[in-house]
């Protein structure tokens, strides 16, 4: 546990950036934080350095990523199909199954030392979801969670007589990695993406629920930059962060 908690977070807007390049950059920041934590263990308390925190916002070109617990059968394209869709495919080291990233989707990668905030992965995931739920509420969209499934969904409170969900639609996927309480990977919120790309996978391995976006629900284009600003504000409030100068 850090003696002094650092709630300062460096925010970086990376624009449209290649997935592999961004993943490498995440790994670089992640390793630097973990290495600093390990070095601090061997130092007297007064000589220990604060660990930094980062919040990366990015869009990716068309890409499918498969988490450690996923199944390749949930990707419905072969190599030729990927080329035809101008998409790439990576097996990665986050939790979860398969998902899609592409233009018009807001991806947020928090690289946080949770020793600076709280050491509770369940709470961390729920706060990421809550930040998205609060962001969507600003657009008049009532979102929530489905028990046992990570992420954020619309239309989950309408039940038929048998008690099944009425028409749940996933609008945000979440998958993270943590080591020594340092986080990487994060969330992907569908703002204005081409939802047709989700037809090429079984999203998160769940084949009976639809995927949606803010623009589809509102029937209008929405500014990615605007959504980023709202999401950032809710993350800062929920985690009690402040922006690094």
Asked whether the beta carbons of 155 and 217 are under 8 A apart, the reply is no
Q: How far apart are the first and last CA of the chain?
A: 25
Tallying the residues shown for the chain, one arrives at 245
Query: How many Cβ atoms from other residues are within 10 Å of residue 221's Cβ?
Result: 11
Asked whether the beta carbons of 55 and 9 are under 8 A apart, the reply is yes
| Helix, strand, coil share of the chain (percent; to 5) | 35, 30, 35
Is residue 172 annotated as part of the catalytic site, yes or no? Answer: no
Catalytic hit among 55, 189, 204, 227: 204
**Paired tokens of 14:** 């990376």
**CA–CA dist 37, 53 (Å, integer):** 12
Residues belonging to the active site: 204
């Amino acid at each position: 546990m850090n003696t002094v908690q650092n709630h300062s977070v460096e925010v970086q807007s990376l624009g449209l950036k290649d997935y592999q390049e961004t993943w490498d950059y995440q790994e670089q920041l992640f390793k630097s934080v973990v290495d600093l934590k390990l070095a601090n263990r061997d130092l007297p308390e007064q000589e220990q350095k604060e660990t930094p925190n980062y919040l990366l916002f990015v869009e990716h070109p068309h890409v499918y990523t498969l988490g450690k617990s996923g199944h390749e059968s949930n990707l419905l394209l072969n190599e030729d199909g990927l080329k035809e869709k101008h998409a790439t495919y990576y097996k990665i080291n986050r939790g979860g199954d398969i998902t899609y990233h592409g233009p018009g989707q807001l991806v947020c990668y928090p690289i946080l030392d949770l020793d600076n905030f709280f050491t509770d992965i369940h709470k961390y995931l729920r706060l990421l979801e809550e930040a998205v739920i609060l962001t969507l509420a600003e657009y008049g969209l009532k979102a929530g969670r489905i028990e046992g499934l990570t992420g954020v969904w619309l239309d989950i409170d309408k039940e038929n007589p048998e008690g099944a969900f009425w028409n749940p639609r996933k609008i945000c996927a979440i998958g993270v990695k943590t080591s020594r309480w340092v986080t990487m990977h994060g969330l992907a919120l569908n703002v204005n993406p081409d939802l047709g790309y989700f037809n090429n996978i079984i999203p998160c391995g769940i084949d009976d629920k639809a995927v949606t976006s803010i623009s589809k629900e509102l029937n209008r284009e929405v500014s990615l930059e605007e959504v980023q600003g709202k999401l950032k504000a809710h993350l800062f409030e929920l985690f009690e962060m402040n922006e690094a100068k």
